[in-house]
Amino acid sequence: MSSEQSTEVLLAAARDWAAQDPDATTRTELESQVTAAEAGDPAAEATLRDWFGSRLHFGTAGLRGELGPGPNRMNRVLVTQAAAGLAAFLLSREPSPSVVIGFDARTNSEVFARDTAVVMAGAGVRTTLMPRNLPTPVLAFAVRHLGVSAGVMVTASHNPARDNGYKVYLGGLDHGSQIVSPSDTEIAHAIERVAHAPISELPRSTDFVTADESVITAYVEQTAAIANVPAPVRFAYTAMHGVGWETARAVFAAAGLGEPDVVAEQAEPDPTFPTVAFPNPEEPGAMDLVLALGESVGADLVVANDPDADRLAIGIPTASGWRRLSGNEVGWLLGWRAAKRASVDGVLAASIVSSPALGEVASAHRLRHVETLTGFKWISRVPGLTFGYEEALGYLVDPAKVLDKDGISAAVDLLSLASELKAGGSTLERHLLDFAETFGGFASGQISIRVTELDEIGRMMTALRTQPPGHIGSLPVAQIDDFLDGFAEFPPGDILRFHLANGARVIVRPSGTEPKLKVYLDASSTEGDGASRIAAARAVVSELDAGIRALLGV
């Protein structure tokens, strides 16, 4: 095919897309680029090739990407195709399927949710739409509470403001968990079949129902029920411009935790996220306002949810100032708490990139410990699960209620722990030392390498495979586990795990939701008291950090 013919095909695809786009903003944006490309503007043609050169992959829990026109962006055409494909998939599984649809406050979230509702209803799927923007855990809860076949949550979680996404859960035998293979592949194929025809040909119906407050009330009541508050705890809270505050406030009140001090600038939903560079509590600076508020009011701790409230971050006062606890620190404290109240057949689970500390907790309490691939779609499916977490601030503390990470219920459990410690004259900082003295001192680190071209990630992974390091820093590599073709009980995945001679560990993998290569560093020590153990482990992680940066040239 000649370059001219290729351009003609590109322009024809762009014109066809514009003709069916119901969104005036993306349609105008697309038509402007088509006009410029027709006039010979190479930048406009390059933009069109970006928008139409590929299609957003339907994979990790569904879709996620930047807003804009074309199949490689999140927009009303793409979402309508996804809804029709998902409806076809559900109808192929059962004669009278049902779905509940939720949405957060990101740009176009409600529009995408309503488009999904009319397409689902038009296809013959019994459809319920949540009444307003709400946290992702409320939608995940609704899937099981309403006993529906599937759930859709329109959210991009903690991604940048320009992004949105489409997260899918399945009911029935999947019990409200996120989709996994082969369902994700089958849905993707159904979407591809639908995408060959204009979306104007799809049947639509407004014959769907809007959920009443009883669903939200049930979530609030069941979440509050896990609380134990023997002593009052003063805490500051931020919703990080997301949808968490309304629901979290109701849960805190019902749980007897009272009213927190709130970061007013971040309490109400705002899809532009004006006070943070990235609306992710893990990002440097994202929690500055809530940490400052906690210090100013003399709080015992601070609590942050990400914009869709499925993640939790915690900050505590220390002798050297306030600091955010790592996802692993919160995970192993909640895991220890869960182990103490677990039955003899309890199961603690975490992703393979999370700290090995949870395994030590499980062993000490004679519980089963399970490692999964990254993502709560795997953690939530562990049989007999008592508690699960991933280091990226995701925690599942009440699996009988919801089978996904839940930043609100995790906050209640952590605040209950803080209350119990306070009643006993202790603090979370002291409890971390107690953990180290009981199970060993653990430390973790992470390196995120953001790329502009996804091919860069492939090149770095290939280099590590073809020329594996003998050392990372001064530490010898004792063993390398390559998950590419499957490893042990794990399905295939683009993951490399390096075991160091001193028991430390380095894991390298591409991010599933962002253009990043992620590196996870873990070390532990059992020498000396709790503080000495933590310091020794942190020293090893620091050396691993420098070593892997030198190895990857970053």
What is the rounded CA–CA span in Å between residue 309 and residue 143? Answer: 17
Residue-wise pLDDT tens digits, 295-335: 999 999 999 999 999 999 999 999 899 999 999 999 999 99
Catalytic entry in 98, 109, 157, 354? 157
Q: Is 444 a catalytic residue?
A: no
Residue-wise pLDDT tens digits, 250-300: 999 999 999 999 999 999 999 999 999 999 999 999 999 999 999 999 999
Residue pair 397/338 in contact (Cβ under 8 Å)? The answer is: yes
CA distances from 31 to 26, 77, 108, 480 (A): 9, 15, 20, 51
- Residue 219 predicted with pLDDT over 80: yes
Residue pair 408/255 in contact (Cβ under 8 Å)? The answer is: no
Residue 2: what pLDDT?
39
pTM score, two decimals? 0.95
Residue pair 263/293 in contact (Cβ under 8 Å)? The answer is: yes
Amino acid symbol at 117: A
* Mean pLDDT across the chain: 95
Residue 155: what pLDDT?
98
Q: Which residue has the higher pLDDT, 41 or 487?
A: 41
Residue 515: what pLDDT?
83
CA distances from 391 to 150, 161, 165, 394, 500 (A): 27, 23, 22, 7, 20
378-415 burial code (b ≥16 CB/10 A, e <16): bbbbbeebbbbbbbbbbbbbbbebbbbbbbbbbbbbbb
Domains of the chain: 1-53 (no CATH), 56-211 (3.40.120.10), 223-438 (3.40.120.10), 440-552 (3.30.310.50)
Residues near 12 by beta carbon (within 8 Å), at least 6 away in sequence: none
Q: Which residue has the higher pLDDT, 60 or 178?
A: 178
Tell which residue, 316, 300, 299, 309, has the closest CA to residue 393. 309
Beta strands in 67-106 (DSSP E): 98-103
Token pair of 289 as six digits: 């306002």
- Residue 61 predicted with pLDDT over 90: no
Residue-wise pLDDT tens digits, 451-464: 888 889 999 999 99
Cα angle at 88 between 82 and 89, to 5 degrees?
Answer: 90
Residue 60: what pLDDT?
64
Percent of the chain's residues with pLDDT above 90: 92
CA distances from 333 to 188, 237, 283, 443, 465 (A): 39, 20, 22, 13, 35
Token pair of 146 as six digits: 């309403």
- Residue 530 predicted with pLDDT over 80: yes
